[in-house]
Chains A and B, each alone.
Chain A
Amino acid sequence: MADRKMKSNSKWVQFFNGDLWYDFTRSPVAIVSFITTIGCLFLAASAQWVAPFDIFDLATLELMDADLPPPWADEYGEDKFFLGTDDQGRDIWSGILYGAQISVFVGFASVIISAIVGVALGLLAGYAGGRIDSFIMRVADIQLSFPAILIALLIDGVMRGLLPRELHDELAIYVLIFAISISGWVQYARTIRGSVMVEKHKEYVQAGQVIGLPSRIIAVKHILPNVLNPLFVIGTIHLATAIITEATLSFLGVGMSPTTPSLGTLIRIGNEYLLSGEWWITLFPGLALVILVLSVNIFGDWLRDALNPKLR
Chain B
Amino acid sequence: MALLDVKNISIGFPSRHGMFVAVKDVSLSVEPGEILGVVGESGAGKSTIGNAIIALLEPPGEVIKGEVYLNGARIDNLSAEEKRLIRGKKIGMIFQDPQTSLDPLKTIRQQLVETIDLHLRLGRKGSEKRALELLEQVGIPDPVTRMQHYPHQFSGGMRQRVVIALALCGEPELIIADEPTTALDVSVQKQILDLMRKLCVDKNVGMILVTHDMGVIAEVADRVAVMYNSQLMEIGETAQIIGNPQHEYTKSLISAIPRPDKKVRRFPLVTYIEDVVEQKDEFDVSTHWLGQSREFDMKVADDGTILQLEDLGMRFQITNSLFKSKRRYLDAVKDVNFSIKEGETFGIVGESGSGKSTIARMVTGLYTPYKGKVNFLGKEISAISHTPEVLPYRRQMQMVFQDPFSSLNARMRVLDIVAEPILFHKLAESKAEAEHIVMDLLKLVGMSDDAYAKYPHQFSGGQRQRISIARALATRPRFLICDEPTSALDVSVQAQILNLLKDLQEELNLTMMFISHDLPVIRQMCDRVAVMQHGQVLELAETENLFENPQHEYSQHLLSLMPRLDMLQA
Contact = CB atoms under 8 A, between A and B. Distances in A.
A212 interface: yes
A226 B410 CA distance: 7
Nearest to A214: B386
A222 B409 contact: yes
A225 interface: yes
A202 B408 CA distance: 9
A212 B411 contact: no
Contacts of B402: 203
A272 B532 CA distance: 81
B398 A226 contact: no
Contacts of B408: 204, 207
A230 B475 CA distance: 34
A206 B472 CA distance: 12
A209 B366 contact: yes
A209 B424 contact: no
Nearest to A3: B453
A204 B424 contact: no
Given A22-B16, A203-B403, A209 B384 contact: yes
Q: Is the interface of B mostly helix, strand, loop or mixed?
A: loop
Contact of A211 (B16, B361, B412, B475): B475
Interface string A185-225: 00000000000000000111011111111100100001001
A208 B424 CA distance: 11
A264 B342 CA distance: 75
B305 to A, nearest CB: 21
B301 interface: no
B15 to A, nearest CB: 10
B59 to A, nearest CB: 11
Contacts of B409: 204, 222, 225-226
B406 interface: yes
A212 B395 contact: yes
Contacts of B391: 212
B421 interface: yes
Interface residues of B, number: 30
Given A203-B403, A210-B366, A211-B421, A225 B386 contact: no
B399 interface: yes
Most central of A206, A217, A222 by chain B CB within 10 Å: A206
Nearest to B420: A211
Interface string A69-82: 00000000000000
A24 to B, nearest CB: 13
A207 B475 contact: no
Contact of A206 (B16, B366, B386): B366
Contacts of A209: 364-366, 384
Interface string B405-443: 011111110000000110011000000000000000000
Most central of A204, A210, A212 by chain B CB within 10 Å: A210
A207 B425 contact: no
B471 interface: yes
Nearest to B397: A210
B394 interface: yes
A247 B384 CA distance: 52
A209 B398 CA distance: 10
B298 to A, nearest CB: 15
A211 B397 CA distance: 8
B408 to A, nearest CB: 6
A209 B394 CA distance: 10
B410 A211 contact: no
A209 B385 CA distance: 10
B424 A213 contact: yes
A210 B398 contact: yes
Contacts of A217: 424
A204 B386 contact: no
Interface in A216-240: 217, 222, 225-226
Contact of B401 (A22, A206, A222): A206
A10 to B, nearest CB: 10
A202 B395 CA distance: 21
B237 to A, nearest CB: 41
B401 A212 contact: no
B407 A212 contact: no
Interface of A: 22, 202-204, 206-214, 217, 222, 225-226
13 contacts: A202-B406, A204-B407, A204-B408, A206-B361, A206-B407, A207-B407, A207-B408, A208-B420, A210-B366, A210-B398, A211-B424, A211-B425, A212-B421
Interface of B: 16, 361, 364-366, 384, 386, 391, 394-395, 397-399, 401-403, 406-412, 420-421, 424-425, 468, 471, 475
| Chain A to chain B: the 5 pairs with minimum beta-carbon distance, closest first | A203-B407, A203-B401, A225-B411, A202-B406, A211-B421
